[in-house]
């Protein structure tokens, strides 16, 4: 099956993407900046992000939840660029981290945001726990009884109280890719919600642990609000049970996972957030505490594109391959998740669309961005934009085939600034040694 040719119209407040053609014959722009200009200045492959859309998406969540005390904790794993973290911190966002490295990134750009950090993840090390305790983060999302024991021991050693939330597993099915579904009993994440009451009660008297909240996260790229509501209903029941036992939690952490539309067509982000917020709020009826949410992809995915240059157009029997200078090491989602990304010529050519595979130069048959895709005519030297690449693009990139990772540019209105230079071969070789001893 082939997709229709990607059509990108002039931007508007309701447009799902910041990439557009200001005039029918002009090059594709991010905001007011031409991608041709950026590619000429910084080379390709090149990640380009819209700061304006990231701020706009954050504001949509903040407005939808305005009726309740809340904190939007950006999921750093989606895109950990320092400039993006700084931008979000300046707008009042908190942060959901899953490693000590992500904590250091937040602290590097916004040390004052430590108290807005929640630490998730099933395998926190002793060093990571100690660093988070000394930094004074808001909450640990604890994923096992063993982790809770370690957290208590480290807090006692450092003589500081640790605020924690058990990440409960509500056994709610979310229709998404199996690699990013996390809410069922067979997944490695969380604690069976039926066991949570007993665990909270067992540590209620520990002087170094503060039962502060309860956390849930059922998966990622979930397009319907219904699974979120179902999960929070089960969490709300637990919160009421705990209150009857004298354990009054202050926070419900609803996790993240709200999905976007990676295909062409209309996508009303504000309406999706309102639907999500209503489902969560209805399920929280009677809870007067603070709500935390952890969106990542929804804030940054559609704000970003990977710009690549076409190297060759190769015809092999009935197949036509468009070979670009970007590859699976730059954006692995199509190879890893069989994910769909719209692909748009930066300056469209006239002519009939063709069915092509868009691929990279990495020595793997899995190195592709699109298969059997209907695209407008593309020739060697042309630029293409792989859309919706702001989340899990650069964050999952690698140096496979000893390929330097791309540069990154952040566009704010009519201004563009380099926020990460392109890696050099010296960068890649620097950590290694080839000296033979003996």
Which are the catalytic amino acids?
Answer: 363
CA nearest to 116, candidates 141, 135, 93: 93
CA dist 139 to 126, 167, 269, Å?
16, 11, 29
The H or E element spanning position 48 is: strand 46-50
Cα 250 to Cα 213: distance, rounded to the nearest angstrom: 6
Other CB atoms within 10 Å distance of the CB of residue 215: 28
Please give the backbone phi and psi of residue 152, each rounded to the nearest 5 degrees, phi first: -65, -40
Tokens 């200078």, residue located: 325
Tokens 């950990």, residue located: 80
Instruction: At 387, list the tokens.
Output: 């859309």
Euclidean distance between the first and the last CA atom of the chain, given in angstroms as a whole number: 60
Strands, E assignment, 317-399:
319-324, 343-345, 354-359, 368-375, 383-387
Pairing mode, if any, of strands 383-387 and 304-316? Answer: antiparallel
The H or E element spanning position 50 is: strand 46-50
DSSP symbols for 111-157: GGGGGGEEE--S---HHHHHHHHHHT-SEEEE-SHHHHHHHHHHHHH
Cα 215 to Cα 220: distance, rounded to the nearest angstrom: 15
CA dist 214 to 136, 289, 378, Å?
19, 11, 52
Cα 210 to Cα 221: distance, rounded to the nearest angstrom: 32
Tokens 């639907």, residue located: 275
Omega of the bond prior to 45 within 30 degrees of 0, cis? yes
CA nearest to 154, candidates 199, 97, 103, 208: 208
Strands, E assignment, 250-394:
251-253, 290-293, 304-316, 319-324, 343-345, 354-359, 368-375, 383-387
- Greatest Cα pair distance in the chain: 73
């Amino acid at each position: 099956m082939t997709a229709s040719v990607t059509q990108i119209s002039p931007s508007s407040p309701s447009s799902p993407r910041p990439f557009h053609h200001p005039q029918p014959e002009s090059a594709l722009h991010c905001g007011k900046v031409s991608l041709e200009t950026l590619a000429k200045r910084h080379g390709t492959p090149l990640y380009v992000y819209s700061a304006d859309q990231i701020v706009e998406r954050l504001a949509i969540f903040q407005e939808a939840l305005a009726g309740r005390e809340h904190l939007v904790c950006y999921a750093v794993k989606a895109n950990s660029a320092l400039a993006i973290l700084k931008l979000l911190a300046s707008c009042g966002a908190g942060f959901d981290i899953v490693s000590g490295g992500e904590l250091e990134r937040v602290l590097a750009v916004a040390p004052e945001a430590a108290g807005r950090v929640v630490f998730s993840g099933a395998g926190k090390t002793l060093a990571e726990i100690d660093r988070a305790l000394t930094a004074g983060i808001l909450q640990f999302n604890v994923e096992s009884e063993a982790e809770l024991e370690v957290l208590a021991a480290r807090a006692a050693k450092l003589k500081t109280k640790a605020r924690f939330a058990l990440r409960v597993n509500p056994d709610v099915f979310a229709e998404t890719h199996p690699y990013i579904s996390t809410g069922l009993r067979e997944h490695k994440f969380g604690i069976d919600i039926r066991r949570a009451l007993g665990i909270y009660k067992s540590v209620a008297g520990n002087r170094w642990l503060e039962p502060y909240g309860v956390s849930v996260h059922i998966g990622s790229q979930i397009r319907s609000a219904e699974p979120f509501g179902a999960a929070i209903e089960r969490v709300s029941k637990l919160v009421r049970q705990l209150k009857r036992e004298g354990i009054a939690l202050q926070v419900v952490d609803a996790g993240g996972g709200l999905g976007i539309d990676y295909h062409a067509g209309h996508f009303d982000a504000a309406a999706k957030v309102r639907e999500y917020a209503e489902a969560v709020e209805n399920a929280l009826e009677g809870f007067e505490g603070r709500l935390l949410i952890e969106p990542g992809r929804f804030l940054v995915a559609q704000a970003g594109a990977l710009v690549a240059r076409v190297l060759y157009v190769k015809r092999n029997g009935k197949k036509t391959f468009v070979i670009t200078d970007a590859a699976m090491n730059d954006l692995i989602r199509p190879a890893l998740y069989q994910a769909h990304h719209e692909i748009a010529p930066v300056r469209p050519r006239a002519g009939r669309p063709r069915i092509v595979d868009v691929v990279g130069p990495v020595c793997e048959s899995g190195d592709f961005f699109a298969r059997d895709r209907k695209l407008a005519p593309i020739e060697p030297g042309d630029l293409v934009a792989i859309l919706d690449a702001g989340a899990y693009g650069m964050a999952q990139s690698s140096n496979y085939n000893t390929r330097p990772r791309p540069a990154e540019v952040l566009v704010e209105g009519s201004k563009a600034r380099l926020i990460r230079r392109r890696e050099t071969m010296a960068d890649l070789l620097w950590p290694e040694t080839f000296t033979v001893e003996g």
